[in-house]
Amino acid sequence: MNRVGLVILLIVATFVGIDSVFVMQEGQVAILTQFGEYKYSVNAPGLYGKVPFADTVHRMERRIIGSDTPPAEFLTRDKKKLVTDPVTRWKIIDPLTFYKTVRDESGAKARLDDIINSELRGVLASQDFSEIIGSARDPLMQEVTRAARKQALRFGVQIVDVRIKRADLPTEVQESVFKRMQAERSRIAKRYRAQGEEEAQKIRADTDKDKAILLAKAYELAQKSRGEGDALSIKVYADAYGGDPEFYAFTKSLETYEGSIDKETTMVLSTDSDLFRYLDDPKK
């Protein structure tokens, strides 16, 4: 029995030994309480001693923690509804306060969600929808971060940042957005088609104009050429025939007579004519 007692003693000693030290891991912080009363905080990793069984180590996360606040609906200044889904990153900087006020991560998340939602509500209500979606998003979130950061200090928490993951329209509004998008697209499509027709019409009109001008210029040149030809020929004829206008008349008449008859022509000749002057009277 003595031997059994020794073994039990050995076992008890082992447990006491084990419970009188604790290892802090990298990325952890802890507070130490003695029968529920706060003694001190441990911020650095390493091997520490404690009073066995009396002291309790409460370990907490030292790393940055992310909490994804469930999406909620907010009203903007221009009375539009916006669904946002903020993500907050924070870390425990004061383990005692943290432990006293929220105890653990899920408690902290619940409190932070409340703070962020109320800050967000205030900030979003002061801005128009389009600004929240676009350019003002970053400064707005910085504003929310600043305000929430101050309040979160009460829980021993430092907020790194608050960001909006989603900023969407509520589902019931989406339908109207789609309608607007469709209308806008059909406007753009119409514009393209009209522009196409406009351009085409312009090109055709230019073409027709160019064609008309080309032909008219050609006509101008042609008439000029014809005129020159006629003028020159008139001059040449006048110069030539001016030598003896009577002879010209004579020869041209003969040519005309000859040219205007054919074999069908019936010719009535008077014996009185010059041709037959020797018919009755062969004398000179």
Residue 267 as a binder of another protein (CB under 8 A): the answer is: yes
- In 3-state terms, what secondary structure has residue 38? strand
Residue 11 as a binder of another protein (CB under 8 A): the answer is: yes
Query: In terms of CB distance, is 172 or 267 closer to another protein?
Result: 267
Query: In terms of CB distance, is 37 or 267 closer to another protein?
Result: 267
- In 3-state terms, what secondary structure has residue 273? coil
Residue 146 as a binder of another protein (CB under 8 A): the answer is: no
Minimum distance from residue 224 beta carbon to another protein (Å): 8
Q: Which stretch binds another protein (CB under 8 A): 32-40, 114-122, 148-156, 214-222?
A: 214-222
Q: Among residue numbers 154 through 183, which ones bind another protein (CB under 8 A)? A: 160-161, 163-169, 174, 177-178, 181-182
Count CA atoms closer than 13 A to 249's CA, side-chain side: 3
Phi, psi of 200 (to 5 degrees): -60, -45
Residue 73, strand partner residues: 83
Q: Among residue numbers 220 through 259, which ones bind another protein (CB under 8 A)? A: 221-226, 228-230, 232-234, 236-237, 239-241, 243-244, 247-248, 250-251, 254, 257-258
Task: Please give the Cα distance from 62 to 43 (Å, whole number).
Answer: 9
Rounded to 10 deg, the angle between the 137-152 and 105-125 helix axes is 130
Q: Compose the 106-125 pattern: x for residues touching another protein by CB under 8 A, - for all others.
A: --------------------
Query: In terms of CB distance, is 25 or 126 closer to another protein?
Result: 25
Q: Which of 36, 49, 260, 281 binds another protein (CB under 8 A)?
A: 260
Minimum distance from residue 20 beta carbon to another protein (Å): 14
Residue 87, strand partner residues: 68, 163
Minimum distance from residue 96 beta carbon to another protein (Å): 20
Phi, psi of 162 (to 5 degrees): -120, 130
Task: Please give the Cα distance from 58 to 40 (Å, whole number).
Answer: 11
Query: In terms of CB distance, is 110 or 222 closer to another protein?
Result: 222
Query: In terms of CB distance, is 40 or 192 closer to another protein?
Result: 192
Q: Which of 93, 263, 283, 284 binds another protein (CB under 8 A)?
A: 263
Question: CA dist 209 to 54, 135, 195, 203, Å?
Answer: 106, 51, 21, 10
How many CB atoms sit inside 10 A of residue 53's CB? 11
- In 3-state terms, what secondary structure has residue 262? coil
- In 3-state terms, what secondary structure has residue 27? coil
Q: Give the torsion sign (CA, 274, 276, 281, 283).
A: positive
Q: Among residue numbers 53 through 92, which ones bind another protein (CB under 8 A)? A: 61-66, 68, 87, 89
Q: Which of 36, 70, 269, 284 binds another protein (CB under 8 A)?
A: 269
Residue 104 as a binder of another protein (CB under 8 A): the answer is: no
Minimum distance from residue 256 beta carbon to another protein (Å): 10
Task: Please give the Cα distance from 27 to 43 (Å, whole number).
Answer: 9
